[in-house]
Amino acid sequence: MGKIPKSHPRYKSLITREKISKEFKNGIVHETGLIAHGRGEAFDYLIGEKTIPSSMRAAKVAAALFLLAKNPVISINGNVAALSAKECIELAKTIPAKIEVNLFHRTKARVEKIVAMLSKLGAIGIYGVKPDAVIPFIEHDRALCDKNGIYSADVVLVPLEDGDRCEALKKMGKTVITIDLNPLSRTAKTADVTIVDNITRAIPNIRKWVVNFKKNHVSEEELQNIVDSWDNKKNLKEVLSFISKRINSLF
């Protein structure tokens, strides 16, 4: 990683790529995760590789939902672990929320590697190691989850998630928060709160709001007002409008 000079105009993006590539070699990231990352990068270019105002508002709503939740869970997959393991652990501790390793392309070996990585970074009580429940409406290993983790969660954050699984979680009656750079993905359209931003920026943003709410003793009523005034579809339209305006004003 030391090879990339900080002055390089695409420094952050290159460092992120190196992380994904390194964790692919380590068996943390699945090969399809490389493709998903590329798709994410393309959309990051479109929003200007920084948090746009509507995505900051989505992060605020996510923080409010987390603080109102009885049993919040953060789901971690290979790409999430590669890019934001430390930040997800910090967020989970701040809320507090549970962490579950939950993989689309599940293998015992990959789960164990991700759990080892998270443990090394200080995570305690990681769920998903021995899944003992299934998410209805989806098939095979993709449906496996932890009874005391995602299965019984009321609010679940599923960053960089597949559309089918997001839909199945919604059908279970859960409040679903996602982080997805593609505002057009099925996940983005299905979730209750879609943060269209890079996970590397979105997780610290959610945490900043959680800290801010706690510090200012924001009441449950106020948090509920923030949640109630949220319209995810409207926000996705705003993201698309931001992108089109931005593109039209570039040259």
Please, which residue, 167 or 192, has the CB nearer to Mg ion? 167
| φ, ψ of residue 50 in degrees (nearest 5) | -145, 165
Site string for ligand ATP, 108-147 (x = CB under 6 A): ----------------------------------------
Q: Is 235 in the site for ligand ATP (CB under 6 A)?
A: no
Q: Which of 69, 74, 66 is nearest to 98 (CA)?
A: 74
Q: Is 39 in the site for ligand ATP (CB under 6 A)?
A: yes
Please, which residue, 39 or 237, has the CB nearer to ligand ATP? 39
Distance CA 230, CA 243 (A): 20
Q: Is 187 in the site for ligand ATP (CB under 6 A)?
A: yes
Going by the DSSP 8-state scheme, the letter that residue 128 receives in this structure is -
Q: DSSP 3-state assignment of 111?
A: helix
Q: Is 83 in the site for ligand ATP (CB under 6 A)?
A: yes
Angle 199-215/53-68 helices, nearest 10 degrees? 50
Residue 211: alpha-carbon gap to chain centroid: 18
Q: Looking up tokens 């997800």, which residue turns up? A: 88
Q: Is 37 in the site for ligand ATP (CB under 6 A)?
A: yes
Q: Is 186 in the site for ligand ATP (CB under 6 A)?
A: yes
Please, which residue, 32 or 241, has the CB nearer to ligand ATP? 32
Least separation in angstroms between CB 226 and ligand ATP: 23
Please, which residue, 40 or 128, has the CB nearer to ligand ATP? 40
Q: Is 162 in the site for Mg ion (CB under 5 A)?
A: yes
Q: Is 97 left (phi over 0), alpha (psi -120 to 50) or beta?
A: beta
- Quick one: CA dihedral 47, 32, 84, 157, positive or negative? positive
With CB under 6 A as the contact rule, the residue among 198, 205, 232, 235 that binds ligand ATP is 198
Distance CA 236, CA 249 (A): 20
Q: Is 87 in the site for ligand ATP (CB under 6 A)?
A: no
Question: Which residues, 146 to 165, sit near ligand ATP by CB under 6 A?
Answer: 160, 162-163
Q: DSSP 3-state assignment of 157?
A: strand
Q: Is 138 left (phi over 0), alpha (psi -120 to 50) or beta?
A: beta
Q: DSSP 3-state assignment of 147?
A: coil
Least separation in angstroms between CB 187 and ligand ATP: 3
Q: Is 208 in the site for ligand ATP (CB under 6 A)?
A: no
Q: Is 180 in the site for ligand ATP (CB under 6 A)?
A: yes
Q: Is 181 in the site for ligand ATP (CB under 6 A)?
A: yes
Q: Between vectors from CA 69 to CA 63 and to CA 70, what angle results, nearest 5°? A: 150
Contacting positions for Mg ion (CB under 5 A): 162-163
Contacting positions for ligand ATP (CB under 6 A): 36-37, 39-40, 43, 79, 83, 160, 162-163, 179-182, 185-187, 198-199
